[in-house]
Amino acid sequence: MANPFPILTAKPSKSDKYIYLYNNASKGGKSRCIAGKPTDSTCNVLCNCVGWACGRFNHIYNLLTGYDGIKYPNFCVNAENFIEIAKQYGLSTGLTPKAGAIMVWQKGATLNKADGAGHVAVVEQVISSTQVKTSESGYNSFAFKNRIRTKGADGNWGTAGKYHFRGFIYNPAVKDTVTESTTKTTSIVAAVARNTKVNQIQVLANNLRVRDDAGKVLGYAKEGYYNYSTHENFGGYERYKIGTNNWIAYDAKWAKLLPADSAITLGCQVKVAKNAPIYGTSKSFASWVYSSNLYVRTISGNKVGISIMKTGAMTGFVDKKYLTKV
């Protein structure tokens, strides 16, 4: 399938119609981003991933809509905070790769630059559901580079260490297309019998929306029991995966959680649900926490202390509902 826009394999030249998107006012441009380091002679917001992602996202929008200007100028914050700017604009976000989207990574345990500013890149081409071609820049590093990024078992799309993938910000100018891979995953899972040996969620309301990985409504779940394999925070609410590409939102008003009988006890090993917040906050753990087997060290009601070690230093605290026994 043809790409919805021309793939960039080099930074724009001085003669490019939209070069103003890659320069700030100090060089006659319209970007609100700071000058890059080192500062590029053609695109002065480079070298910087933020300057690049802001410019390219708007560039793609302009190419596809004919808009002349900078439609989304506020992507001039720390990279890891792009998701919050997207929400202010009413832009859609999700975990499914799409051409023209901004990829956002958080660095460290908080969304504060004190432990890292994160990283952003732009999807030039979707190769498959687990592989993309990006364009990106790096502060104090490089002005432009294409990369092939693979999702990987950890879901971090080729980053390591303290980086944690937050999601894709979708470009509204790029229209969704139906492909063979997506049509295979849009069926709605049916309710099952009650089973105390597996994690289940009971839907109490009729016709509860079922959404795909990206948050698009696929259909409706009927009243009944559904097995769930994982759960996460998504778009400001908690959602549970009840089937392939099938998610439902949880609220006590319309659903009831029925964890498996295997209780969380002191000393047992657990996994923390992806994007689960640190107890009592909206902050995330370091990315490695979500991929590690952790020991339960303390239990106080729903507040559970976890650690990578049986004794010694603690990793942190999390609500019991985000834990799955290994």
Tell me the per-residue pLDDT of 35-69, one tens digit each, with 9 for 90 and over.
999 999 999 999 999 999 999 999 999 999 999 99
Q: Are 145 and 139 in contact (CB under 8 A)?
A: no
| Token pair of 185 as six digits | 């995953």
> What pLDDT does residue 238 have?
87
- Per cent of the chain over pLDDT 70 is 95
190 secondary structure, DSSP code: P
> What distance, in Å, lies between the first and last C-alpha atoms of the chain?
41
| Token pair of 140 as six digits | 């104090």
Q: Is the pTM of this model over 0.85?
A: no
**Residue 223 contacts by C-beta under 8 Å, 6 or more apart in sequence?**
191, 203, 204, 205, 206
Q: How confident is the model at residue 23 (pLDDT cuts 50, 70, 90)?
A: very high
Cis check: omega of the bond before 38, within 30 degrees of 0: yes
CA-CA-CA-CA torsion for 85, 277, 79, 96, nearest 10 degrees? -80
* Residue range 188-203: mean pLDDT, rounded: 89
Tens-digit pLDDT profile for residues 242-291: 998 899 999 989 999 988 766 788 888 889 988 899 999 999 999 999 99
CA 247 to CA 259: how far, in whole Å? 17
Q: How far is CA 300 from the centre of its chain?
A: 31
Mean pLDDT over each residue of the chain, to the nearest integer:
90
CA 194 to CA 78: how far, in whole Å? 46
Q: Are 36 and 47 in contact (CB under 8 A)?
A: yes
Secondary structure percentages of the chain, helix, strand, coil, to 5: 15, 35, 50
Q: How confident is the model at residue 318 (pLDDT cuts 50, 70, 90)?
A: very high
CA 151 to CA 154: how far, in whole Å? 7
* 97 φ/ψ angles, rounded to the nearest 5 degrees: -70, 140
Q: In a 3-state reduction of DSSP, which class is residue 65?
A: helix
CA 169 to CA 143: how far, in whole Å? 22
CA 226 to CA 270: how far, in whole Å? 22
